[in-house]
Amino acid sequence: MKLLQRQHPKLCKLCKDPFSCSDSDEYAGYEGAIKCLLDGRGQVAFTTIEATVQLFGKLSPDLIEEYQFLCPNGAREKINYNACDWGKRPNNVWVIRPDRLQDPRRAQDRKLFYNFLEQIHFRNKVTPTRPFPPLWFDKVFVSSVNVTNIVKIVGPGGRDTMTYGEYLSEYVNSINLSTGCNKKIIRLCTSSQAELFKCLDLQKVAYSRRITPEIRCENPGYSLESCIKSVASGNSDIISLEAGDFYKAARYRGLKPIARERKNGTNIASYAVAVVRVPSEINSLQDLANASACSTGFGDISGWISPIGSLISQGLIPRETCSRSSEVSRFFRSMCVPGAGDYRYNVNVSGADVLCRLCSGDGKGGHICEKSSLELYNGETGAFRCLGERKGDVAFVSHSTPLRFTDRHTFNSNEYWATSLRSDDFRLLCSSGGQAPIKDYEKCHIAQVPSRFIVTRNNINYENYTHIVSFLSSLSEVFTGKARYSFKLFGHYEGESNLLFGDSTDSIVALDEDADYTQELGQFLPILKNMDQIACENSAILNVEGTEYVSQRVTRRFRVKDLLGTKWILFLQIERQHPKLCELCKDPFSCSDSDEYAGYEGAIKCLLDGRGQDMIFI
C-alpha cells in the first residue's frame, strides 16, 4: 500500500490517518466509509446496502432523511433494504463433485446433503437462548453468524442443480472484469513436484479470491538452482530463498530482495545454537577444539554454516584455507556431518573420515553419513539424538530442537530415544562464552538466522516491482485472515515442508525498491562470507573435486564443478602452479580443452604417440 500511496497520494488523502492509511483506519471497511461521509470528509461513500441501513438505524432518525442512495442511472432513493444497487454478490454456496450433479440417480444423495447442512445450521445458529454459536460455526461452516437459514437451490426448469455460471449470473462479469490494461501475470518458480502442485492449488484459490495479478506456475527443473537461473534470466518472476541460498543468488546471480517473510513480527527465522550435556567442561567456542560434535548436515544453516562460520570469525579456524571441511576435521576430534562423504555436498570429500566418524547409518551397517532419513543422526532430530545418546560432546541445531525433544514434548513412537531426556540435562553454549538454559536461546546462541527472502531479477522495472509487491501483500493479507481456512499458504502442505514459502512464516512484508542483500542479511553476512568457497578461492566459480595420480609422467586429471551446480567442466587453469599437469599435451603452452590429446580419443592418441608410457584414464 505504501508504494501505491507514493504513486497516487490521493488514495489516502481522506483517511482518518492519511500517513498510515491502514486497514484498521477509522474510515476503513463498510461502516468506516459511511463515517467518512458523515464526518464531511467525502462526498460519496461506496459501501453495502446492509451496512448503511444498519448504521443509520443506530443513529438519529432525522439523520437518515439527509442522505440517499445514488443509483447507476443517476436517480436517488431513500435508505432502505430494497434500494437500487451497483451490483449483487451472490451468497456463499456449497458445492459437490460434478458427477453427483449430472447423475439422476444421485438425487437422493443431494437431498441427504441438504438435510444434513440444514440440521447443522439449525442446531448451532444464533438464537435468543444461544447468543454465541460454536467457534467453528462462522469459521468453517457459514460466512457469518448472521446467516439466518440455508435454502435449497432451484435451477432452470425447477431442477435442484445449477452450474456456476447459472448461479453467479451477471456477477461473473465482475470477476472477469477487463480493466483495459495489459493482463499482468506473476510467474512463481517451483523446484519440486510437490511445490508445483501447491502452486497450482494456490492459482485456483487466489483467482477465486480475486487476487491479482494472475498466478502462473513455472517449473524449469526439479532443483533450486534451476529456479534461481530461471528468475535471473527473466523466465520466472519470484522465488523464496533461505538466507544461505539468498546470499549466493544475490551475489553471484544478481537477484534482488523484493520482500521478506516474517515470523511473530520479527525478521529472525531461528537461532542456531550449540547444545551440550550437563555437566560439560565446554564453556566457550575455544573449548570445542578436539571435541566430538553432532551436526544436522553438511551445508545446513544451523548445523554447518552458522557454527563453522562463527569459528572462523573468532579465528579458531583459519580464514585463508579454502578447504573448510579439511580445517574442520583438524579442529574437531570426531563428528557426524551427514553428507560430508558425498561429493554432491562436500565437493572434495575432504576430511570425511573425521566428519563421518560418529555417524550411525541405518543401524545395520548401511547408509553411514548419508544425508537422508536412513542415517539415524541426520537432520535436526538426528543431530540432537546423537548428543542425547552421548555420541557427541556438542550438537549444532536450531533453537527449537532441544525444546521439542525434552520433557516429553514429543510422543512419536519413532523417537523413543527422547522419552527420558529432560531440559535440565542440557545447556546452550553462548558465542561470547558461558552457558545458559535451553529456553534462553534469544540471549545465548551461535547466530541469529534471518527469515527467508522473496527475490526477483535485478533489472525489474518499477511497475513490475509494484505489481509483485501488491500481489504478495494481498496473498499474505487474505490467507492469514479469515481465508486462512480456505488455503494453507504457510506451514506443512500435504506433508511437505517449505513449499513456496517457509513453514514458520506468518506474514510477508515488502522491502524498499533499493533494498540490498548486504544490508538485509545484517549480522549474518560475515558468517556467510566466511563460508563462501567461491570468494575464498578467488576463481569465480570453480572448485577442484578430486585428483588421480597416474604417474610422474602422466597428467593429473581434475574434474571440477560450478559451485552453483550448473555443469561439469575440465579445469586446466592451475597450470602455472603445477606445470606437470600440461607437460604431455600436444601443445603444453595453451593446454586447452581443444588440444589434440584432450577428450577420450585424445587420451588414447597420447598413449599411442608415446607421450604417456604408463596408462590412460578414459
Distance CA 462, CA 596 (A): 52
Lowest-pLDDT range, 274-288, 450-464, 531-545? 531-545
**pLDDT, mean of residues 125-135:** 87
Q: Which residues have C-beta within 8 Å of that of residue 495, sequence separation ≥ 6?
A: none
The confidence band for 323, taking pLDDT boundaries of 50, 70 and 90, is confident
Lowest-pLDDT range, 285-289, 339-343, 553-557? 553-557
**pLDDT, mean of residues 355-365:** 93
Q: Which domains does the chain have, with CATH numbers?
A: 98-175 (no CATH), 185-266+452-522 (3.40.190.10), 271-449 (3.40.190.10), 539-608 (no CATH)
pLDDT tens digits, one per residue of 232-266: 999 999 999 999 999 999 999 999 999 999 988 89
Residue with the three cell numbers 461473473: 172
Residue 102's pLDDT is what? Answer: 64
Residue 365's pLDDT is what? Answer: 87
Residue with the three cell numbers 560434535: 293
pLDDT tens digits, one per residue of 164-185: 888 888 787 776 655 556 678 9
pTM for the whole structure:
0.69
Distance CA 453, CA 251 (A): 14
Q: Which neighbouring-strand residues pair with 218?
A: 189
Residue 193's pLDDT is what? Answer: 93
pLDDT above 50: residue 384: yes
**How many helices (H) does the chain have, and how many strands (E)?**
20, 18
Distance CA 161, CA 155 (A): 6
Higher pLDDT, 596 or 426: 426
Q: If you ran DSSP here, which 8-state letter would residue 491 be given? A: S
pLDDT above 60: residue 473: yes
CA–centroid distance for 161 within its chain: 41
The confidence band for 131, taking pLDDT boundaries of 50, 70 and 90, is confident
**pLDDT, mean of residues 148-152:** 87
The three-class DSSP label of residue 16 is coil
The confidence band for 589, taking pLDDT boundaries of 50, 70 and 90, is low
303 is in an annotated binding site: yes
- Burial group, residue 359, by CB count within 10 angstroms (0-12, 13-18, 19+): buried
For the CA atoms of the chain, what is the radius of gyration?
A: 32
Q: How many CB atoms lie within 10 A of CB 570?
A: 13
Residue 274's pLDDT is what? Answer: 98
What average pLDDT does the structure give for the chain?
85
Omega prior to 279 cis, within 30 of 0? yes
- Residue 127's region, left for phi above 0, alpha for psi from -120 to 50, else beta, is beta
30 is in an annotated binding site: yes
The secondary structure element, H or E, covering residue 474 is helix 462-479
Residue 135's pLDDT is what? Answer: 84
Residue 540's pLDDT is what? Answer: 35
Distance CA 587, CA 592 (A): 8
